């Protein structure tokens, strides 16, 4: 069983949970560095930020 230091009693897609994750990232320099590196890599992918068109 995995035990986590942080407990979230709100849905995964809630604004409150996003804000809680933001606070955790801001307080942990190593996690923040990984987060910024990951998004820098994603933004370097051509067409990553453009809306996708899906056909039915």
Of residues 21 and 4, more confidence is placed in: 21
Domains of the chain, by residue range, sit at 15-48
Given this model, what pLDDT does residue 37 score? 93
**Rounded Cα distance, 10 and 35, in Å:** 22
Q: What is the largest CA-CA distance in the chain?
A: 44
Given this model, what pLDDT does residue 1 score? 61
Given this model, what pLDDT does residue 21 score? 84
Query: For residues 13 and 27, is the Cβ–Cβ distance under 8 A?
Result: no
Residue found under tokens 């809680």: 20
Q: How many Cα neighbours within 13 Å face the side chain of 16?
A: 5
pTM above 0.85, yes or no: no
Which two tokens mark 2? 């995995």
pLDDT tens digit string along 5-53?
A: 767 778 888 898 889 888 888 899 998 899 889 888 888 887 766 776 7
Residue found under tokens 């604004």: 15
Given this model, what pLDDT does residue 17 score? 86
């Amino acid at each position: 069983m995995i035990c986590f230091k942080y407990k979230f009693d709100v849905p995964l897609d809630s604004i409150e949970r996003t804000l809680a994750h933001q606070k955790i990232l801001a307080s942990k320099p190593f996690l923040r560095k990984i987060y910024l590196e990951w998004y820098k890599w994603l933004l370097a992918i051509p067409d990553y930020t453009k809306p996708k068109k899906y056909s039915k």
